[in-house]
Amino acid sequence: MRATLAAAATAAVVVAALLLGPLTQRAPRLESSNQHPNRGGVVFLQPGQEACQPNEDLPRKSPAAVVNLGSEAPAGPLVMRFVSAGREIARGRTGSGLRTSTLAIPLSKRSAESIGVEACIRNAGRVPVSLGGTLAGAARDPRGTLPGLENPAVTDGVAQSGRFRLEYRLPGEPTNLAMAGRVATRVGLLKGSWVGSWAMWFALLVPMLSAAVAVAALARGESR
C-alpha cells in the first residue's frame, strides 16, 4: 500500500512540475487587437507617405503597437501616431533596416484609454513598405462585417484597399500563469457560459491539488 501511495505521489509531483515549468515562462503578450486579420499586404506606402485609419481603440497601458509587414525586405524607419480630435495623443518610431514580418512600435505613455481615435503610420524610410491587414469589406464573422472595415486606410486623400492590422502589447513579459485569468475569461466567452472558464481552472488546479494530497497522505503514512 505504501509503495503504491509513493508511486502515486511521485507521479502527481512529476505532472505538477511539468505544468509549473510552462506556467512560469515569460514572453511578450498581446492585450488586444483591432480584430482585422492579417491576410497579406493591403496598405502600400511609398517613401514619405502616411496611411491613416479611423475608429481605433488605444489601450492606456500598452507600451507598443504591433504591425505586420507584407514582406521581409529591409524597411523602416516607420513612424506611428494616434490622433484624437486633431490632437496627437501617442507617438512611436522604429529603427531602420528592419527584416521582420511582425514589428513592435514602442509608444509614448498616455494618461487614459482612447476610444475611436485615428491611427497613422508613415514610411520614413527609402523603400516602399506594405502593411498586412484585411481588404475593406472582405472579412466577415457570424455577426457581420468586422469592426471598421467600411473605413479603409487613407493616403494623400486616396483610400487604400483595406485596413492594416494593429495589435497592442501588455506591459512587461507576463508569465503564462499571470495570463491564466485572461485566457480563462476568453474561454468562458467562447463557450458562451461560465462553464468554459471554470473548466480551464479545474484542468490547471487538479494536478497540483492531487500532488499536494498524495504527498500529504504519504507523509502521514510515514509518521505512523
**For residue 22, with 0-12 CB atoms within 10 Å meaning exposed, 13-18 middle and 19 or more buried, which class applies?**
exposed
Under the banding of pLDDT at 50, 70 and 90, the label for residue 112 is confident
Q: What is the pLDDT of residue 162?
A: 92
How many whole angstroms from its chain centre is CA 84? Answer: 23
Q: What is the pLDDT of residue 189?
A: 45
C-alpha cell at 30: 498581446
The secondary element (H helix, E strand) that includes residue 141 is strand 140-141
Q: What is the pLDDT of residue 205?
A: 61
Range of weakest confidence among 36-50, 86-100, 138-152, 173-187: 173-187
Q: Peptide bond before 77: cis, by omega within 30 degrees of 0? A: yes
Which DSSP string do the residues of 172-193 spell out, in sequence order? Answer: S--BHHHHHHHHHHHHHHHHTS
Has residue 185 got a pLDDT over 60?
no
Averaged over 19-33, what is the pLDDT? 66
Strand ranges (DSSP E) for 23-137?
Answer: 30-33, 41-45, 50-58, 64-68, 78-84, 87-93, 102-106, 114-123, 129-135
Q: What is the pLDDT of residue 111?
A: 77
Under the banding of pLDDT at 50, 70 and 90, the label for residue 61 is confident
The secondary element (H helix, E strand) that includes residue 68 is strand 64-68
Q: What is the set of domains in the chain, with CATH numbers?
A: 2-27+174-223 (no CATH), 30-169 (2.60.120)
Write the CB contacts of 27 (distance below 8 Å, at least 6 apart in sequence).
173
Averaged over 46-60, what is the pLDDT? 94
The DSSP symbol for 27 reads -
Edge-first strand order for the sheet with 167-169 is 30-33, 167-169, 64-68, 102-106
Q: What is the pLDDT of residue 198?
A: 53
Q: What is the pLDDT of residue 113?
A: 85
